[in-house]
Homo-oligomer: A and B are copies of this chain.
Amino acid sequence: MQRFINDPDDIVDETVAGFVRAHHNMVRIHDTNPRVVLSHTTPKIGHVGIVTGGGSGHEPAFIGYAGKNMVDAVAVGELFSSPTAKSFYDAIKSVDGGAGVAVLYGNYAGDNMNVKMARKMAKKDGITIETVVANDDVCSAPASEREKRRGVAGEIFMWKIAGAKASTGAPLPDVIAAAQKAIDNCRSIGVGLGPCTLPQVGHPNFEIASGKMEVGIGHHGEPGLRVENLKPANQIAEDMVRTVLEDHTLLKGTEVAVLVSGLGATPINELYVLYNRIEQQIEARGLKVHFQLVGNYFTSLEMVGATLTVMALDDDLKSCLAVETASPAL
């Protein structure tokens, strides 16, 4: 394990501490809970608060999206492990400006349970909470069981849309509807070329044989649709586009937002090689790329691989996307 670590048990605390030092102009740590990161802009009286949270090791997600017109508070878990109910609860309490709180997170068993418990705790304080559970990962369950699908990089679009909506002073149901529409309009796929190692464990979480790739891999190395021979980048790009678009029924002329994220150890030039073909392929299908992000936006430690997310847009989503954000990652 060739890594920059101290005691593996301290890695999350040190990450959060370093992160808040580096971005002290945008974020701070919660006064009493070191596992909650707050935007300096929160709370805003009369505005809906936006909360998310998830396991660590996906940096810049989740903490990097705390900021102006984005997420107000982030609950921070151990590596690849849901934050505690207490952290979600503390995050919720911190961002409540009297207009309710939208908790927008990914569909994982731990997160579902911890948010459920946090919600119970916050209800006792009289805080109105609504949740949206991201389930954009198309390979994690068939379309008929969308509620079983995991949430992946589409969460970034969900946060951006919801943050923008909340910034207009919209009421909670509108913010929730916007977040729900954003994630409903998202489809994502991951392709894994190399595994990652949790420092406490010390050996790779899973194997990907040399010359092979895992199509449909999850953000923690969850197995995908199939293991196949590693193909040229253009063919991988085509497969990714086909998989996400076949799960969507989009009319020709639909405008889309596209996010290509590295999983941590993929050279950045290769993300552009992929994106080059991805945009060509999307446009060849009669869609129009209106907005795009290419980079390490949602990683999985030092996993080698990339994800593609396509979100179908309408005028409302487009105007939300246009709202400027100031968070460390976006």
CB within 8 Å of B: which residues of A?
Answer: 2-7, 11-12, 14-19, 21-22, 56-57, 59-60, 193-194, 196, 208, 210, 213, 230, 232-234, 236, 264-277, 279, 292-296, 299, 301-302, 304, 306
Contacts and interface: CB of A to CB of B under 8 A. Distances in A.
A59 B272 contact: yes
Interface of A is mostly: mixed
A31 to B, nearest CB: 19
Contacts of A234: 6
A294 B4 CA distance: 14
Nearest to A14: B273
Nearest to A301: B267
A290 to B, nearest CB: 11
B18 A276 contact: yes
A276 B233 contact: no
Contacts of A19: 272, 294
A58 to B, nearest CB: 9
Contacts of A6: 232-234, 273
A18 B294 CA distance: 9
A293 B77 CA distance: 24
Interface centre among A193, A194, A267, A293 (most CB of B within 10 A): A267
A56 B269 contact: yes
A266 B5 CA distance: 11
B11 A269 contact: yes
B302 A18 contact: no
A190 to B, nearest CB: 13
Contacts of A295: 60
Given A2-B208, A232-B5, A273 B22 contact: no
Contacts of A15: 269-270, 272-273, 276
A17 B276 contact: yes
* 10 closest Cβ pairs, A-B complex: A18-B276, A18-B272, A265-B265, A2-B193, A59-B268, A4-B270, A4-B233, A15-B269, A18-B275, A22-B294
